Amino acid sequence: MLSVTTWNINSVRLRMPIVETFITSHAPDILCLQEIKCQEHQFPYDAFRALGYEHFAVHGQKGYHGVATVGKVPFTEYSRHDWQDNGEARHVGVQLNNGPGAKGGAGTVIENVYVPAGGDIPDREQNPKFGQKLDFLERMTRWAERIEQPTLIVGDFNIAPLESDVWSHKQLLKVVSHTPLEVEVLQGFMDAHGWKDIGREHIAAPERYYSWWSYRSKDWRKGDRGRRLDHMWASPQLATQATAHSVYEDARDWDKPSDHVPLTTEFAF
């Protein structure tokens, strides 16, 4: 068995106490973090080592964005992509190794991505950030067409594609993250490699499934105005080896929480 978690942590140094809480309880083999908000030399390596994580692939930048994959099992950094050609650290990939502590799945690639949010106005002409988001996904789509090895792609995609991925389909149709254009572009990315949406393979629509709740909601649980912005997608054959998928909503209640919660998939290798 091998377990993989994805979590937009919204500053890994600030949230390290809740990362430790999660790891102490659940201890995934691989933890993929987005929005770490630090440079590579500032990443809390020692704190992770104290928790049993000895393997790292960190792609960071000062104060913004950034992604990191940490593991109890060995891997080799496999890829770094700058899909906007602007220097933002939003994508790092690793390949699982054979070696001490290996648990199977050698050769499997795990890509960890943080797709831009896209601003507030769903119009490329009025809002360049929205256009950058669409272009980011378009470039990823062209890349996905060439993938040949078993791959898991996880992270904050910043799009909730299904009606049951948002608290109100009708009210969010013109809100960035759930517009028909974004959903169409994300579907193109899915089709390019035949990705399987592991979350929805295990929590079938139309069942409610959210991973993000705004900080603006004083009582996020009562209002429950959530969206499923975080995803775990796998190559078709790899997806058949996914045995369980969990959403840890309670993490949104922890002290100084991220606005996202962790998702974990377990694989039988």
With a cut of 80, say whether residue 103 has pLDDT above it.
Answer: no
pLDDT of residue 105: 84
| CA gap 233, 230 in Å, rounded | 10
CATH number, residue 256: 3.60.10.10
Q: What percent of the chain has pLDDT over 70?
A: 99
pLDDT digits (tens, 9 = 90+) for 62-79: 999 999 999 999 999 999
Residue 49: partners with Cβ closer than 8 Å, 6 or more residues away: none
What's the mean pLDDT in 94-120?
Answer: 88
The count of other CB atoms within 10 Å of the CB of residue 251 is: 20
**pLDDT-derived band at 100, boundaries 50, 70, 90:** low
Is a pLDDT exceeding 60 seen at residue 193? yes
Helices (H), the chain: 16-26, 45-50, 128-144, 169-172, 180-193, 198-202, 220-223, 236-239
**What residues form DSSP beta bridges with 267?**
2, 242
Rounded CA-CA distance 53/86 in Å is 31
Spatial contact of 172 and 159, defined as CB atoms under 8 Å apart? no
Output the pLDDT for position 99: 62
Establish how many alpha carbons lie within 13 A of residue 172's alpha carbon, considering only the half-sphere containing its beta carbon: 20
Q: Domain tally for the chain?
A: 1
What CA–CA distance (Å, rounded) separates 132 from 162?
A: 22
Instruction: Give the C-alpha separation, 20 to 205, whole Å.
Output: 32
CB count, 10 Å around CB of 149? 11
Residue 216 has pLDDT above 60, yes or no: yes
CA distance linking residue 21 with residue 154, whole number of Å: 21
What average pLDDT is seen over the chain?
Answer: 96
- What average pLDDT does the segment 95-123 reach? 89
pLDDT in tens, 217-267: 889 999 999 999 999 999 999 999 999 999 999 999 999 999 999 999 999
Confidence label for 101 from pLDDT (cuts 50, 70 and 90): low
Residue 18 CA to residue 255 CA, distance in Å, equals 7
Coil, strand or helix: which one is 60? coil
Which tens digit of pLDDT belongs to each residue from 123-156?
999 999 999 999 999 999 999 999 999 999 999 9
Q: Which domain holds residue 60?
A: 2-267
Q: Which residues, at least 6 apart from 57, have a Cβ–Cβ distance to it below 8 Å? A: 68, 69, 70, 75, 77, 78, 92, 93, 94, 112
Is the model's pLDDT at 25 over the cut of 90?
A: yes
